[in-house]
């Protein structure tokens, strides 16, 4: 039977915009999530798993159990960024509904009572079990996909497209670390070898680098417009809350907090928000530019080179507004 539903596996790393991306993907009627992994990069793993499980449950997807990433990248994220999920995990909007019981009824549920596989194995298993090719959306580092490809090269045939938030092609990077030249973006810097492994695959890659995401900062207007569109206790309120929690980033880092991962997830929404170019690229894996995406090198990727912030805001608001049950 021909179906227009797109199967999606989300590998996120627990940032505020990763969670907004998860909520956006859950709101698309034509998208079915087949799995969710949490990479312990820009987050603490346990609270990020907890938040993810709560969001899945509130969206009626407690059949999905978030898979814990067990791979550590070479270049750790600042701890000050990684603690965001501790605060999100205690938001009233995620905790007002009664907690699920641990009785026999829950143990019989598909996701209940059974520990998840490590993320890279869960990714491979879900891709191999899917009835049609899966779109893998990576809003954190690429460690799980890279390990999955190493252990199960046959998953390449089961992946339609990899949509990645990462890199900075013709703009400055966002890594500000001693010994680094600032040309890389954090997701690819955390595990440059993983990015290189994905680049050496034959998978179709669509990249959302800083070139596009720099154009969609979280602004007061965006949060206010989304809030006005929100009914009580729904998806729009949750995302507006997540975005409100990003304020102070500019004061602390001198750089804005952008809708990096949420723009990337909006790729599945099928609207004209970004302009794309096909670009020949390679990944720098060592030295002061490690994690950088450079032009040349023979690996063709589809790159979002520009974004329309108004089209993005309209799309997010119309997708999330009125999506009930949080
Ligand atoms: O480089 C962008 C990536 C995105 O996947 N992450 C945040 C997004 O989830 C790292 C990052 C860069 N600057 C940050 C980041 C900041 N100021 N706070 C938290 N994370
Ligand atoms: Ca992220």
Q: What is the pLDDT of residues 277-293, one digit of tens each?
A: 999 999 999 999 999 99
C-beta 260 within 6 A of ligand 1: yes
Given a cut of 50, whether residue 77 has pLDDT beyond it is: yes
C-beta 18 within 6 A of ligand 1: yes
Closest atom, ligand 1, to C-alpha of 15: 9
pLDDT of residue 110: 53
Compute the Cα dihedral for 110, 116, 117, 118 and give only its sign: positive
Given a cut of 50, whether residue 93 has pLDDT beyond it is: yes
Active-site residue flag, 135: no
Q: Which of 166-180, 196-210, 229-243 is least confident?
A: 229-243
Nearest ligand to the C-alpha atom of residue 16: 1
Q: What is the mean pLDDT of residues 61-77?
A: 98
pLDDT in tens, 170-185: 999 999 999 999 999 9
C-beta 253 within 6 A of ligand 1: yes
Contact 165, 187 (CB under 8 A): yes
pLDDT of residue 4: 86
Q: What is the mean pLDDT of residues 254-272?
A: 97
Contact 209, 185 (CB under 8 A): yes
* pLDDT > 70 in the chain, percent: 92
What tokens appear for 53 in the block?
């499980």
Q: Checking DSSP bridges between strand 6-12 and strand 299-307, what pairing results, if any?
A: unpaired
265 phi, psi to nearest 5 deg: -65, -30
Active-site residue flag, 42: yes
Q: Quick one: 70 exposed, middle or buried, by C-beta within 10 A (0-12, 13-18, 19+)?
A: middle
Given a cut of 50, whether residue 223 has pLDDT beyond it is: yes
Residue with more model confidence, 326 or 321: 321
- Exactly one of 246, 260, 262, 264 is catalytic; which is it? 260
Nearest ligand to the C-alpha atom of residue 257: 1
Return the SS3 of 302: strand
C-beta 137 within 6 A of ligand 1: no
Ligand 1 atom 12: residue of nearest CA: 186
Active-site residue flag, 193: no
Q: Checking DSSP bridges between strand 293-295 and strand 274-283, what pairing results, if any?
A: antiparallel
Rounded Cα distance, 251 and 265, in Å = 27
- Exactly one of 17, 18, 89, 225 is catalytic; which is it? 18
Nearest ligand to the C-alpha atom of residue 82: 1
For ligand 1, the distance from its centroid to the CA atom of residue 261, given in whole angstroms, is 9
Average pLDDT, the chain: 94
For ligand 1, the distance from its centroid to the CA atom of residue 319, given in whole angstroms, is 23
pLDDT band, residue 99 (cuts 50/70/90): low
For ligand 2, the distance from its centroid to the CA atom of residue 325, given in whole angstroms, is 25
Active-site residue flag, 139: yes
For ligand 1, the distance from its centroid to the CA atom of residue 88, given in whole angstroms, is 16
For ligand 2, the distance from its centroid to the CA atom of residue 46, given in whole angstroms, is 16
pLDDT band, residue 115 (cuts 50/70/90): confident
C-beta 172 within 6 A of ligand 1: no
C-beta 276 within 6 A of ligand 1: no
pLDDT band, residue 3 (cuts 50/70/90): low
pLDDT of residue 326: 44
CA distances 230 to 49, 183, 262, 277, 318, Å, are 26, 38, 18, 35, 10
């Amino acid at each position: 039977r021909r179906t227009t539903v797109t199967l999606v596996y989300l590998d996120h790393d627990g940032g505020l915009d990763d969670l907004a991306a998860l909520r956006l993907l859950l709101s698309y009627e034509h998208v079915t999530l087949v799995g969710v992994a949490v990479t312990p990069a820009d987050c603490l793993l346990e609270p990020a798993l907890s938040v993810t499980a709560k969001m899945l449950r509130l969206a009626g997807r407690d059949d999905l159990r978030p898979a814990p990433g067990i791979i550590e990248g070479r270049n750790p994220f600042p701890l000050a960024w990684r603690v965001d999920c501790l605060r999100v995990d205690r938001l009233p909007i995620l905790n007002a509904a009664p907690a699920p019981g641990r009785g026999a009824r829950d143990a019989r549920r598909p996701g209940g009572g059974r520990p998840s596989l490590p993320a890279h194995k869960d990714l491979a298993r879900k891709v191999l079990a899917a009835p049609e090719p899966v779109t893998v959306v990576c809003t954190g580092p690429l460690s799980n996909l890279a390990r999955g490809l190493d252990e199960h090269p046959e998953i390449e045939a089961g992946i339609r497209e990899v949509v990645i938030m990462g890199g900075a092609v013709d703009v400055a990077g966002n890594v500000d670390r001693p010994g680094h030249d600032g040309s890389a973006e954090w997701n690819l810097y955390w595990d440059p070898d993983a990015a290189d492994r994905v680049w050496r695959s034959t998978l179709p890659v669509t990249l959302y680098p800083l070139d596009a995401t720099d154009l969609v900062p979280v602004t007061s207007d965006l949060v206010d417009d989304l809030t006005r569109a929100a009914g009580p206790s729904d998806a729009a309120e949750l995302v507006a809350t997540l975005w409100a929690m990003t304020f102070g980033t500019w004061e602390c880092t001198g750089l804005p907090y952008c809708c990096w991962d949420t723009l990337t997830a909006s790729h599945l929404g099928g609207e004209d928000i970004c302009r794309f170019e096909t670009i020949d690229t390679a990944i720098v894996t060592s030295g002061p530019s490690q994690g950088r995406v450079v032009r040349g090198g023979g690996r063709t990727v589809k790159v979002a080179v520009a974004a329309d912030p108004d089209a993005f805001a309209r799309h997010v608001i119309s997708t999330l507004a009125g999506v009930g049950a949080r």
